[in-house]
Structure formats: structure tokens, C-alpha cells
């Protein structure tokens, strides 16, 4: 049997902790012994004629190999690119390779490709229409025309009436960023890295090559364009001539936010000054640059007043800490405030003199750094500010909300009136907004549609049509041709790795990769197969974290099977309850419905019917499919008949997880006489942070602590957890009527042990390495996964699928990049053989921390 391996077509040449190993039993599965481990993924073991055949990824090429039953005499039988999914009838072996099935005959050592013809209409490849609203990724309003991007296609229309026209190429090209000119043309960029002017007359290419364009902003006169790219540069492009001038370049981040002064000569942008700092800079088309704010804060979202008097921006400057309600810590939950800069040396709108003073609209550079004024409003979680006509300033803010929620977080759009210095709610349930070129109209995407309003009027969401600002998107017909779109998506995923891979010198022969995979698009028939093909193509980078998160496989919604939070056994025409999972009954979704008030069933009780249907099928899932509530007829273990009404769990994973954690914690407490605590960290994200502190608050005052990082899915908060563990106990606070409390408060105990396995990876790798590096304690278990090239989630394909590229390589001073494709070795290796019911790794941790 194969253990500890993952099918990783998106990471070829993998050699980390989950590369797999083979175990074998010679006594009908009573005992197993490890007999094969190679320097790469081994999978799909098949025994034929006293040899074990399997697939082996040997440095990026997966082929069929075999060994004797003792693991000796390794032989390679195929010499193809990447074989997958081997299976056998006991005589012959079949596997997949590049969309074909191959058959291998071990007796003859013979390989042949199977010629298979399946007569199907390949329905999923046929052109079809999709929802315009579901796939909107950009929207801009000019002075008269509205343009949107949906499913990578550009459409232009009048806001409230008339037809919508698709601009540019109809199929096979993805447009992803647009601007609208004063005369109704659309500036767009596409997946070919082209900058284009689109109109009803066709498209005109602007002859510049600026790399992968990240964002852009057109000047009010429609003649100039600010462009930022993935090389961290900001360019100024003259649309008529195509001349391009490099304005600025950061060493830390992409320049994504910029705006134009109404005179089209000056512009402002947010400039990344450091890993976590940004300043506001003022630039001129001549190339002159002035830093307005210091490089030591976080200043963003610059926007000019349409009359040219002020520059608005948001800043994280006013830090007023709030106490955390669970852990001993402080945080800045609402730290963002709007600011303005008076562009001329005049009074701010918040400090006007009695006499009327004529507005000055020129920009006076001298002393401009001293003319930064905060708005007289409270801090909040502002994300965007824009100045509008009529002395209005729009602010988009989002609520402070827990990150474990699955619900979409929608914002509140506020409007500040400079004339009467008031802040009011303009709209709620907002996703994003943008202003027209002249800043007299506001385009808003709500949860259920797109609206366009005059900035001087109060929106009426109950009204329909133009009065309610409703943009009728049914005029936009988005036709998708999968044959062309799939080729474009595969090509773009390839291009994104080429553009963003962390070290281009290590991306060997990448130009050849697309030619290998693009012809295979003609072989696939479904969106799922495209995802598999993209995985294989990205796997050629031979690096971790080349992922994709598919928005929709375009299949029918599955039927949910709800759960009882229990194990049952079919026995004599009933389902006997053999185990009821016990989580934390006070937490939502962490208690078995069988233990709900009024139900209170016990292990040993027998379910004889469900919703009046006698038990005839052996699988209980049949009776629970697509049901949220059921009626159970039960015979209790003492012979009584009961009828109970049960509200099922939609997802049992939280209950099963809590049951596992609590059993481990109780076991550690029992074995150590309550002297040692236990914590499990499921990931290095929001759930992992919550789980760590959920347990830490009750375990930190013990003599020792076992930190279980097995199955840790990675993330980005290992430093937060390590900082708590590094705060070591140095004493205690003694009071008259209570037990001593560790000092510093909530510091970690003197003895720590980490338990880890091959399924802990990414930030779980980093956590384990630093746990050892900081000498926090002994690490017990198996070598970790071994993937530490970080990613961002900013790139989406035409169908909203997120694709990631290995962008940020974690190097440590002593070992460099050695964790990547290797993992972190434990101090003491402990495996759990197949069939072993004891947790040998946890037992060893208890032994070590107890000093035995």
C-alpha cells in the first residue's frame, strides 16, 4: 500500500515529506513493514507476478517502474513525459498520459497506446451564454458612456437605454482593465500585454511594451494614461504618439492607485516605500515628483477634488489601540482616516475665514507637505476615497468582521459634504464604486446589480429604471466559446508564471512548455479537464504553490448529504449507533444532533426507520441525502421505542475535528496528571489562530505544552504564534486568595514539544523550522511537506478562476531555500504504521516532555 503521498501534477519533481512510501504485508494485513521510499513521488502500487509496479516521478517525469517484493531491483518500464492514475486487473496495467490511455503488459514488457473512440456531442465545448453580472470584473463611466468587462469581454453602452456593443475581439482574448475616454472610446489591456484603444470602428494598438499591466488611469482630457505594471513601475503614456516615460519605480510593491488633477498636467499616486509603508507622491507630466507625505506611514487611495483645490487620500496614522477580549493583546481595528491636502496655500475647508476668499486652483509646491489636514471624522476601515462634484467626498468602508465567516462582506458607501461638514450614509451593501471622468456621476456595484446616480442626488433603491439608477445588464449578451476561451485561459496561466515567477533564471525552458500543452486543449471536453490540464502545465515550474481555485466547473449542484455526527453499523435491519462524536456542545456545529436537547440518544441505540422508511439499504447516507431534518424511530439499548426529531449537521467536519482535538487533550492531561497542556494548530490562517488561542488560554499555566502541528495546511501567521511561544515564563504573580499566575501574563511554559507530520506544510514548514531554530523544544514526527514559495491571489482567469504563481521565496540566513522541495526534519522521527491504533507520535511527545 502507498502512504503519505499526494498526487501533485501541479508540482512535478516533488521530493518533500509527502512524496510517499510503500508498506507491505505478508500476513493478510495484520502487520505492515515499510519496504520502498525513493527520491520522488511514488504512487499507485500494483502487485503482479511477485513484482510491485508503480508510478515514480523521477525529477519531473513520471513513469512506470517496478521492484521486487523486498524493494530491490528497480526497473523503469516506460519512458514518457508524465504518467498518472495507474490501475490493473491483476494482469495488465493501464494509465493516463497526455489525454491518452496506455496499456502495459508486464509479461511481455510491452506498451501500447489504446485507440478509443467515444461518440459524444461534447456538450460542454459548445458556445453558450453566461450571466453578465456574475462575471463583471471592471466597470467605468465616462461622461456619457458606460463600459464594463464581463467574462474578459468589453462592452459599451449608454447607461439607461439603447443597445450594448461588444468591443475588441469577440472570442479567444481576455481584456481585464479598462478606462473610458471623454469621447466614448475604451482604453483596454489584454492577456497579450497589449494596450489598445477600442471603439465601434475597431481597435488600435498603442505601440508600447510595458510588461504585465496591473492598473491604469486616463487623464481628464483623454490624451494621457498612467500605467503601472508587475515590475513595480509607473509609466506615463501619450495616447496619440505612443510615447512612454518612466515616472517612478518601487522596490517593494505594485503602484496600483493613482489619480489625475483636472488640468491633466499633475497626478498623484500611492508609492510603496517599504514592506508595509506607502506615501503619497505628486507628479507632473514633465517628470517632476514631489513626496507629499512621509515615507513612514501607510497612505493610499489618492483622489483630486474635481475643482482642483484639494487632494484627498486615506492613511493609517491615528493609532488608538483596543484591548482584545480573549488574549492579552492590543490591536488597531479602526485605524484609517481620510485626509486632504490644500494644493494652494489657502485655508482648509474645515477652517474658513469670515470674509469670502476666491478659490485658487493652481498647485503651489512650496510648503505642500505642511498642508495635510485630517477630516473631522472618526477612524474606520476605509478602503477608498474619491472627490466628487458639489463639494462631495465619497468614502467606502467595511465593517470589522471575523475572518472565519463564509458570507460575503459588503461595504457602506458614505458621503462627506464639505459645505456643511457632515458625514452621511449614501448606500449600503456595496461591493465597489467609481466616479465618471468629470466626477459628476457615481457607478456602484451592489450585491444584486449595478446602479448609476448623479452625485448630487440621494439614491432611491426602491425606484426602477433611470429614476432608481438601475443599469439594465440584460442588454449585455456574453457569449462564451469554450474552444477558444480554454486555449486563452491555458495560455494566460502560462504567461502569468512567466511574468511573476520569483526567479526567472530558474524557470528553465518555459517558452517550450506552452507548445507542449496548448495542442491538448483540443482533446478535453469539460471545465474539470481544463483544470487538470492547467495543473499539469503549471507543474512544469517544479515549484510549490502553483495553484488554481476554480470558480465554477459548470456542473449541476450536488445533493448534500447531511450528518448525524455519529458512526452507525447496519445490523439486523437497523442502524446501530456505535459511536457519537463529542465535540464542544456549546459551539455551533460541534455537537452531534443525536445529543441535542429532547433527542439524547445513546451509543447502542438502534435506528429502525428514517422518515417512516424502514431500513433496507446498508448505507445511511441514502436516507439523509438533501435533508436538513429527519424523524427517527429508535429502539433504545434497553428495549424502549422512541420517536425523535433531529436537525442534521450540514457539515460534520467541525464536530469530528473538535472530537479529535478534545480526545488528544484529555489523553495528554490524563497521562501527565494534568501537568502538560495540548494545542493543535490546523493551519496558519484564521482558523489556526483561533484554535491556538482557544486552547492556549486554558493550557499556558501548566508545566509543559505539546504543540501539535500535524496536518497544518499553512498560511501566514506562524510569526504571531511563535511570538507567543517565545514569550517564556520567568516567574509568577502571587496573590492572597488565588493560585499564582505566570509572569509575564500568558507566557508559554518552560517545556515545549512540537508534533509534526508530512502533511504540515507551507507556513507549517516555516513554523517547524523556526521552532527548532529558536530552540523552543524537541520536534517529533515526520519530515514536513516542504513548500515555501509564497503567492498572491490577485490574478483571475476569464471565468473568475484564481491562479497563483510562485512569487515570494522564503530564504533563511543559515539554510537559504533548502526547505523548498525538501521539508523540515524532526529531531526524533516517529512514524505510525498502517493498522496501528495508538498515536505513537503523541505518546513520544508525552514521554519527552515528561522527561522519561
Active site annotation includes 72? no
Measured between its terminal Cα atoms, the distance across the chain in Å is 34
The set of residues, in sequence order, having a beta carbon less than 8 Å from that of 157 and lying 6+ positions away, is 145, 146, 147, 163, 164, 165, 475, 476
Evaluated on CA atoms 241, 247, 249, 254, the torsion sign reads negative
Q: In what order do the strands lie in the sheet with 202-206?
A: 175-180, 186-190, 195-199, 202-206
Q: In the chain, what's the furthest Cα-to-Cα distance?
A: 102
Residues 6+ apart with CB under 8 A from 836: none
User: Is the CB of residue 266 less than 8 Å from the CB of residue 258?
Assistant: no
Residue 487 class from Cβ within 10 Å (0-12 exposed, 13-18 middle, 19+ buried)?
middle
Residues 6+ apart with CB under 8 A from 253: 232, 272, 278
Closest CA to 610 of 580, 628, 634: 634
* Catalytic residue (choose from 545, 662, 691, 718): 545
The CA radius of gyration of the chain, in Å to the nearest whole number, is: 31
Residue indicated by cell numbers 496499456: 103
Strand partners for 251: none
Cell output for 277: 509603508
DSSP labels, 605-619 = -EEEEETTEE--SS-
Annotated catalytic residue: which of 315, 485, 762, 795? 762
Eight-state DSSP code of residue 328: S
Name the β-bridge partners of 338.
314
**What phi and psi, each to the nearest 5 degrees, are found at residue 112?**
-145, 150
Number of H helices, E strands in the chain: 9, 58
Instruction: State whether residue 592 is helix, strand or coil.
Output: coil
Residues sharing a CB contact under 8 Å with residue 617, sequence separation 6 or more, in sequence order: 623
Report d(CA 454, CA 458) in Å as an integer: 8
Quote the CA–CA distance of 274 and 295 in Å, as a whole number. 8
Per residue, what are the HEC states of 712-779? CCCECCHHHHHHHHHCECCEEECCCCCCCEEECCCCECCEEEEEECCCCCCHHHHHHHHHHHCCCEEE
Listed residue (449, 438, 531) closest to 131, CA to CA:
449
811 is catalytic: no
Which residue's entry shows cell 496501528?
836
HSE toward the beta carbon, residue 123, CA cutoff 13 A: 2
Three-state DSSP state, 96: strand
Q: Residue 516 in contact with residue 509, Cβ under 8 Å?
A: no
Residue with grid cell 426602491, as numbered in its chain = 462
Environment class of 20 (CB within 10 Å of its CB; exposed 0-12, middle 13-18, buried 19+): buried
DSSP-assigned beta bridge partners for residue 204 = 197
The residue whose grid cell reads 456593443 is 165
DSSP β-ladder status, 777-781 and 789-790:
unpaired
Can 762 be counted among the known catalytic residues?
Answer: yes
> Which parts of 21-119 fold into alpha helices (H)?
none
How many C-beta neighbours within 10 Å does residue 70 have? 10
- Active-site positions read 545, 762, 820
Amino acid at each position: 500500500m502507498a502512504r503519505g503521498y499526494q498526487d501533485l501534477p501541479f508540482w512535478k519533481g516533488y521530493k518533500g515529506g509527502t512524496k510517499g512510501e510503500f508498506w507491505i504485508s505478508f500476513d493478510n494485513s495484520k502487520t505492515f513493514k515499510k519496504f520502498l521510499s525513493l527520491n520522488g513521488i511514488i504512487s499507485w502500487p500494483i502487485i503482479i507476478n511477485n513484482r510491485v509496479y508503480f508510478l515514480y516521478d523521477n525529477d519531473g517525469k513520471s513513469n512506470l517502474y517496478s521492484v521486487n517484493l523486498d524493494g530491490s531491483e528497480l526497473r523503469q518500464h516506460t519512458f514518457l513525459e508524465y504518467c498518472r492514475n495507474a490501475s490493473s486487473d491483476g494482469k495488465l496495467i493501464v494509465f493516463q498520459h497526455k489525454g491518452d490511455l496506455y496499456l502495459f503488459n508486464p509479461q511481455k514488457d510491452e506498451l501500447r497506446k489504446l485507440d478509443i473512440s467515444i461518440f459524444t456531442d461534447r456538450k460542454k465545448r459548445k458556445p453558450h451564454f453566461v450571466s453578465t453580472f456574475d462575471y463583471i470584473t471592471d466597470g467605468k463611466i465616462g461622461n456619457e458612456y458606460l463600459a464594463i468587462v464581463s467574462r474578459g469581454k468589453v462592452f459599451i453602452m449608454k447607461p439607461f437605454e439603447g443597445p450594448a456593443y461588444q468591443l475588441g475581439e469577440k472570442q479567444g482574448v481576455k481584456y481585464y482593465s479598462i478606462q473610458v475616454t471623454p469621447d466614448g472610446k475604451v482604453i483596454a489591456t489584454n492577456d497579450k500585454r497589449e494596450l489598445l484603444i477600442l471603439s465601434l470602428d475597431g481597435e488600435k494598438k498603442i505601440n508600447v511594451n510595458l510588461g504585465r499591466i496591473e492598473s491604469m488611469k486616463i487623464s481628464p482630457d483623454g490624451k494621457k494614461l498612467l500605467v503601472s505594471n508587475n515590475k513595480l513601475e509607473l509609466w506615463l503614456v501619450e495616447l496619440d504618439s505612443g510615447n512612454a516615460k518612466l515616472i517612478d519605480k518601487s522596490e517593494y510593491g505594485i503602484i496600483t492607485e493613482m489619480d489625475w488633477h483636472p488640468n491633466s498636467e499633475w497626478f498623484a499616486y500611492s508609492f510603496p516605500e517599504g514592506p508595509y509603508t506607502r506615501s503619497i507622491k505628486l507628479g507632473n507630466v514633465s517628470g517632476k515628483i514631489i513626496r507629499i507625505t512621509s515615507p513612514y506611514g501607510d497612505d493610499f487611495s489618492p483622489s483630486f477634488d474635481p475643482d482642483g483645490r484639494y487632494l484627498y487620500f486615506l492613511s493609517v496614522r491615528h493609532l488608538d489601540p483596543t484591548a482584545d477580549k480573549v488574549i492579552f493583546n492590543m490591536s488597531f481595528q479602526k485605524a484609517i482616516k481620510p485626509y486632504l491636502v490644500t494644493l494652494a496655500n489657502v485655508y482648509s475647508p474645515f477652517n474658513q475665514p469670515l470674509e469670502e476668499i476666491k478659490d485658487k486652483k493652481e498647485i503651489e509646491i512650496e510648503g505642500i507637505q505642511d498642508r495635510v489636514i485630517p477630516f473631522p471624522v472618526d477612524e474606520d476601515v476605509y478602503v477608498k476615497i474619491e472627490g466628487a462634484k458639489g463639494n462631495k467626498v465619497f468614502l467606502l468602508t467595511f465593517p470589522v468582521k471575523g475572518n472565519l465567516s463564509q458570507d460575503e462582506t459588503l461595504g457602506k458607501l458614505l458621503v462627506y459634504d464639505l459645505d456643511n461638514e457632515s458625514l452621511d450614509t449614501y448606500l449600503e451593501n456595496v461591493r465597489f464604486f467609481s466616479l465618471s471622468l468629470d466626477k459628476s456621476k457615481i457607478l456602484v456595484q451592489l450585491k444584486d446589480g449595478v446602479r448609476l446616480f448623479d452625485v448630487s442626488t440621494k439614491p432611491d433603491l426602491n425606484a426602477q429604471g433611470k429614476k432608481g439608477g438601475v443599469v439594465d445588464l440584460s442588454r449585455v449578451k456574453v457569449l462564451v466559446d469554450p474552444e477558444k476561451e480554454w486555449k486563452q485561459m491555458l495560455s494566460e496561466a502560462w504567461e502569468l508564471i512567466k511574468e511573476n515567477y520569483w526567479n526567472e533564471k530558474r524557470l528553465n525552458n518555459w517558452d517550450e512548455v506552452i507548445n507542449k500543452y496548448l495542442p491538448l486543449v483540443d482533446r478535453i471536453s469539460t471545465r474539470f479537464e481544463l483544470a487538470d490540464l492547467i495543473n499539469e502545465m503549471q507543474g512544469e515550474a517544479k515549484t510549490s504553490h502553483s495553484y488554481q481555485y476554480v470558480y465554477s466547473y459548470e456542473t449541476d449542484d450536488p445533493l448534500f448529504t447531511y450528518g448525524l455526527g455519529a458512526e452507525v453499523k447496519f445490523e439486523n435491519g437497523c442502524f446501530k449507533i456505535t459511536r457519537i462524536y463529542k465535540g464542544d456542545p456549546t459551539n455551533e456545529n460541534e455537537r452531534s444532533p443525536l445529543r441535542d436537547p429532547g433527542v439524547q440518544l445513546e451509543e447502542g441505540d438502534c435506528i429502525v426507520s428514517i422518515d417512516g422508511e424502514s431500513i433496507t439499504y446498508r448505507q445511511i447516507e441514502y436516507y439523509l441525502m438533501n435533508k436538513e431534518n429527519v424523524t427517527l424511530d429508535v429502539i433504545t439499548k434497553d428495549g424502549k421505542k422512541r420517536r425523535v426529531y433531529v436537525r442534521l449537521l450540514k457539515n460534520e467536519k467541525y464536530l469530528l475535528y473538535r472530537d479529535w482535538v478534545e480526545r488528544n487533550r484529555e489523553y495528554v492531561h490524563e497521562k501527565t496528571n494534568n501537568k502538560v497542556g495540548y494545542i493543535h494548530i490546523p493551519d496558519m490562517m484564521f482558523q489556526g489562530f483561533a484554535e491556538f488561542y482557544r486552547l492556549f488560554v486554558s493550557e499556558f499555566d501548566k508545566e509543559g505544552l505539546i504543540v501539535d502541528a500535524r496536518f497544518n495546511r499553512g498560511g501566514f501567521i506562524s510569526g504571531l504564534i511563535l511570538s507567543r511561544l517565545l514569550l517564556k515564563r520567568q516567574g509568577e504573580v502571587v496573590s492572597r486568595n488565588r493560585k499564582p499566575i505566570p509572569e509575564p501574563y500568558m507566557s508559554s511554559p518552560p517545556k515545549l514539544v512540537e508534533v509534526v507530520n508530512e502533511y504540515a506544510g507551507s507556513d507549517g514548514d516555516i513554523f517547524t523550522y523556526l521552532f527548532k531554530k529558536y530552540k523552543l523544544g524537541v520536534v517529533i514526527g515526520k519530515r514536513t511537506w516542504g513548500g515555501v514559495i509564497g503567492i498572491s491571489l490577485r490574478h483571475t482567469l476569464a471565468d473568475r478562476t484564481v491562479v497563483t504563481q510562485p512569487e515570494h521565496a522564503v530564504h533563511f540566513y543559515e539554510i537559504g531555500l533548502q526547505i523548498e522541495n525538501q521539508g523540515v526534519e524532526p529531531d526524533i522521527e516517529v512514524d505510525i504504521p498502517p493498522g496501528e491504533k495508538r498515536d505513537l507520535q503523541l505518546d513520544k511527545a508525552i514521554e519527552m516532555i515528561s522527561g522519561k
